[in-house]
């Protein structure tokens, strides 16, 4: 296993994000996706985690399985919400004992159940500090180009993010659709004296239904993008929308790469076709070498 901090020190990284399957059908889909993406030789892959014992175990099992049965370099997500400090320390120790060295430290959304404990750690930066105390991890944190939904204003958002990144090895952004958003984020961080690598998060939007859910997921599509996708639907239906969405994501990636980003992180939703098409269009992957 290679620490992500070491990979970033050498050059750009290319990575994929998966979520743990909830049932056998989802497991079959994910297994197929992993088999299709593994030949692209990503720098690392990350596995999300929503909290709770069941989700925690699924994430652990998937990351551990990837580590021991594939050529992939996995990173486990961990959130503060609904955990005591001792529980989080136990999870971190278990990850290290399993050989897992890459960690995404997140605050997490407030629990939906009002009776559920909020947890002892309120912010991701506290989880980063705990991971550092345990030792042995390359630690990443989340960044929001448009600001965290719970931030009071952009200035305070950037201040908190800068403090978090100063303790972490790297950041990964929420998905966005205009390169200027990422460029503004990096500029704001540098003005605060922080140059920790931040990987742009890429989400190919391949259907109108997905486009309609983007706001709830974290970032609305800008009007010009919505117009292009709707115009594609009028021209050729769902297939044309999918093609247009892949082209939009490819255009964004190309601009980011031209700007010298430290890598690209793809949100796959446990499918592979859009990511593989973007890779091919950009000339990425082992075949390009």
Which domain CATH number covers 189? 3.20.20.220
Least confident of 43-57, 140-154, 160-174: 43-57
- Given a cut of 90, whether residue 240 has pLDDT beyond it is yes
Q: What is the pLDDT of residue 73?
A: 95
Inside any domain, residue 286: no
DSSP tag of 47? E
- Given a cut of 50, whether residue 5 has pLDDT beyond it is yes
Inside any domain, residue 288: no
148 pLDDT band (50/70/90 cuts)?
confident
Average pLDDT over residues 255-264: 97
Average pLDDT over residues 217-224: 91
- Given a cut of 90, whether residue 52 has pLDDT beyond it is no
The answer to whether 282 and 251 are in contact (CB under 8 A) is no
What is the extent of the structural domain holding 111?
4-281
Inside any domain, residue 217: yes
Catalytic residue among 6, 17, 26, 41: 17
Inside any domain, residue 127: yes
272: left (phi over 0), alpha (psi -120 to 50) or beta: alpha
Which residues contact residue 180 at a Cβ distance below 8 angstroms, ignoring those fewer than 6 apart?
Answer: none
| Assigned token pair, 61 | 């099992």
Q: What is the pLDDT of residue 39?
A: 94
Q: What is the pLDDT of residue 51?
A: 61
- Given a cut of 70, whether residue 110 has pLDDT beyond it is no
Which residues contact residue 204 at a Cβ distance below 8 angstroms, ignoring those fewer than 6 apart?
Answer: 245, 246, 248, 249, 266, 274, 275, 278
Inside any domain, residue 289: no
Domain count, the chain: 1
89-98 contacts, C-beta under 8 A, 24 or more apart: 89/130, 89/134, 91/56, 92/130, 92/131, 92/134, 92/137, 93/134, 94/60, 95/60, 95/63, 95/137, 96/134, 96/135, 96/136, 96/137, 98/60, 98/63, 98/64, 98/67
Average pLDDT over residues 9-33: 92
The answer to whether 30 and 70 are in contact (CB under 8 A) is no
- Given a cut of 60, whether residue 60 has pLDDT beyond it is yes
Average pLDDT over residues 110-126: 73
DSSP H or E segment with residue 147:
none
Average pLDDT over residues 151-169: 94
Q: What percent of the chain has pLDDT over 90?
A: 77
Average pLDDT over residues 231-245: 97
Task: Give the number of other CB atoms < 10 A from CB of residue 32.
Answer: 13
- Given a cut of 80, whether residue 56 has pLDDT beyond it is no
C-alpha span between 208 and 229 (Å, rounded): 7
Q: What is the pLDDT of residue 122?
A: 85
Tell me the pLDDT of the chain averaged across its residues.
Answer: 92
C-alpha span between 14 and 114 (Å, rounded): 39
| Assigned token pair, 136 | 């042995």
| Assigned token pair, 93 | 């120790």
Average pLDDT over residues 209-237: 94
Instruction: Examine the residue annotation and report whether 234 is marked as an active-site residue of this protein.
Output: no
pTM assigned to the model: 0.94
289 pLDDT band (50/70/90 cuts)?
very low
Average pLDDT over residues 17-24: 89
């Amino acid at each position: 296993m290679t620490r992500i901090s070491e990979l970033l020190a050498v050059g750009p990284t290319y990575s994929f994000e998966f979520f743990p399957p909830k049932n056998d059908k989802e497991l079959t889909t994910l297994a197929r996706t992993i088999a299709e993406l593994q030949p692209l030789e990503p720098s690392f892959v990350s596995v999300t985690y929503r909290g709770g014992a069941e989700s925690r175990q699924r994430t652990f099992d998937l990351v551990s399985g990837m580590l021991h049965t594939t050529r992939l370099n996995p990173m486990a997500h961990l959130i503060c919400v609904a955990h005591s400090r001792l529980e989080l320390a136990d999870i971190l120790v278990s990850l290290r004992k399993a050989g897992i060295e890459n960690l995404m430290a997140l605050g997490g959304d407030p629990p939906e159940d009002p009776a559920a404990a909020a947890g002892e750690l309120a912010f991701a930066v506290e989880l980063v500090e705990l991971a550092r105390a345990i030792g042995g991890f390359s630690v990443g944190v989340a960044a929001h180009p448009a600001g965290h939904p719970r931030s009071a204003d952009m200035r305070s958002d950037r201040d908190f993010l800068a403090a978090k990144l100063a303790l972490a090895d790297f950041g990964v952004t929420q998905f966005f659709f205009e390169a200027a958003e990422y460029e503004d984020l990096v500029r704001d961080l540098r003005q605060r004296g922080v140059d920790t690598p931040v990987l742009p998060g890429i989400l190919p939007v391949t259907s109108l239904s997905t486009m309609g859910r983007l706001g709830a997921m974290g970032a609305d599509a800008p009007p010009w993008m919505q117009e292009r996708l709707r115009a594609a639907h009028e021209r050729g239906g769902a297939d044309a929308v999918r093609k247009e969405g892949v082209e939009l994501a490819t255009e964004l990636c190309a601009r980011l790469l031209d700007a010298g980003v430290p890598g690209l992180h793809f949100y796959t939703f446990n499918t592979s076709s859009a990511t593989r098409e973007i890779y091919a269009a950009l000339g990425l992957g082992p075949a390009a070498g």
